[in-house]
């Protein structure tokens, strides 16, 4: 208990003193996670709409796959990317080796995106599937093209869609397993989650607690903002049709 209190005290000092390493690493972590989440959202929302609203062969199989992919272990994703990006494995170079991303920030963004994407896709699909079909039919009857129908579905399902985005961001920001594999040598450009692991093993409890606290605080702020948008609704009024 004493170690925790002492760690928190030292962490607070590091944060309040504006320790440049703590702040730059934490903000870098946040930026990378936001970029990965943004890519996952840009790709995942249309894909989720297609899966949730469209009709095509293999739709159920793709839905099952995206549901399963939500639980992919970060270490496995990191290992897969490492194999794809490693230039000199015993099986030859990986097909993504030419990008030269291994141990670069882009590899981390890619790993985080791959972990966040299935969450956005699966939860978006589940959310838009619950939008009343008659509302979308009505939009179609008023001449709405497919992209406007998707926009309507996303807006109506915003509670579920935003829950997916919050969850995706949480996964992206905490995907330490994958980061350690594909971004382990980032050096000065390391991320907070990887640094926490490193500092912990090196006995630098205060520094790791500081990273954790700042990261957690910033994530809570973002999640609170998204939750506020998510739950913005009109109050129930007696007598309205159910």
Partner 1 sequence: MDSRPPVLIAEGLGVARGERRLLDAVDLRLHRGEVVAVLGPNGVGKSTLLAVLAGLLPAAAGRVRLDGRVAAALQPSALARRTVRANVEAALAWWGVARPERTARADAALGLLHVEHLRDRSADTLSGGEARRVHLARALALRSDGLLLDEPFAGLDPPTRAELLHDAASVLRDPDRATLVVVHDRAEAWALADRLLVLLDGRVAAEGTPREVLEQPPTLEVAVFLGFTGRLRGADGSVRCLRTAQVALDPAGPLHGTVRRRIPEEDGVLCEVALADGSLQVRAAYPGPGIDERVRLRIDGSVRFDRRADPSVS
| Cα–Cα distance, 76 to 124 (Å, whole number) | 24
- Binder to partner 1 among 2, 134, 187, 203 (CB under 8 A)? 134
Q: Under 8 Å CB-to-CB from 195, ≥6 apart: which residues?
A: 25, 207, 208, 211
144 binds partner 1 (CB under 8 A): yes
Nearer to partner 1, 1 or 237 (CB): 237
Give the pair of three-digit tokens for residue 42: 């840009």
Q: From the CB of 140, what's the least distance to partner 1, in Å?
A: 6
Quick one: tokens of 116? 């966040």
Distances from the Cα of 65 to the Cα of 74, 170, 172, angstroms:
16, 21, 19
Output 98 or 132, the one with its CB closest to partner 1. Answer: 132
Asked if 19 and 218 touch (Cβ cutoff 8 Å), the reply is no
> Considering the rule CB under 8 A, would residue 231 count as an interface residue with partner 1?
no
Specify the stretch interacting with partner 1 by CB under 8 A; choose among 2-10, 13-21, 145-153, 201-209: 145-153
Segment interacting with partner 1 (CB under 8 A) among 58-66, 147-155, 184-192, 211-219:
147-155
Alpha carbon distance 232, 91 (integer Å): 53
Choose, by CB under 8 A, the member of 9, 148, 228, 231 that binds partner 1: 148
Tell me which H or E stretch contains 88.
Answer: none
Out of 24, 64, 93, 138, the only residue in the binding site for partner 1 (CB under 8 A) is 138
Of the candidates 54, 87, 100, 132, which one interacts with partner 1 according to CB under 8 A?
Answer: 132
**Least gap, CB of 136 to partner 1 (angstroms):** 9
User: Does the footprint of partner 1 cover residue 141 (CB under 8 A)?
Assistant: yes
Report the residue number, 128 or 139, with the smaller CB distance to partner 1. 139
The residue within the footprint of partner 1, chosen from 58, 143, 187, 203 (CB under 8 A), is 143
- Torsion region of 139: left, alpha or beta (phi above 0 gives left; psi -120 to 50 gives alpha): alpha
- What number of chain residues touch partner 1 (CB under 8 A)? 22
Of the candidates 227, 130, 208, the residue with the CA atom closest to the CA atom of residue 170: 227
Q: At a CB cut-off of 8 Å and minimum separation 6, what does 11 contact? A: 206, 207, 209, 210, 212, 213
Name the residues that contact partner 1, by CB under 8 A: 132, 134-135, 137-145, 148, 152, 155-156, 233-234, 237, 239-241
């Amino acid at each position: 208990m004493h170690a925790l209190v002492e760690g928190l005290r030292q962490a607070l000092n590091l944060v309040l003193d504006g320790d440049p390493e703590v702040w730059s690493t934490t903000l870098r972590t946040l930026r990378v996670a936001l970029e990965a989440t943004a890519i996952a959202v840009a790709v995942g929302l249309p894909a989720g709409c297609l899966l949730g609203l469209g009709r095509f062969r293999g739709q159920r199989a793709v839905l099952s796959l995206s549901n399963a992919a939500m639980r992919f272990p970060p270490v496995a994703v990191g290992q897969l990317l490492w194999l794809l990006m490693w230039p000199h494995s015993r099986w030859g170079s990986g097909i993504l080796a030419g990008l030269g991303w291994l141990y670069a920030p882009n590899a981390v963004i890619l790993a985080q995106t791959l972990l966040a994407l299935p969450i956005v896709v699966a939860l978006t699909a589940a959310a838009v599937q619950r939008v009343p079909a008659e509302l979308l039919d009505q939009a179609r009857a008023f001449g709405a093209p497919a992209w406007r129908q998707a926009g309507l579905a996303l807006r109506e399902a915003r509670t579920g869609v935003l829950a997916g985005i919050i969850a995706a961001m949480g996964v992206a920001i905490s995907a330490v397993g994958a980061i350690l594999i594909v971004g382990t040598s980032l050096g000065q450009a390391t991320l907070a989650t990887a640094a926490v692991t490193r500092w912990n093993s090196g006995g630098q409890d205060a520094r790791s607690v500081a990273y954790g606290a700042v990261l957690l605080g910033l994530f809570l702020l973002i999640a609170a903002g998204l939750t506020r948008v998510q739950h913005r609704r009109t109050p129930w009024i007696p007598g309205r049709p159910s």
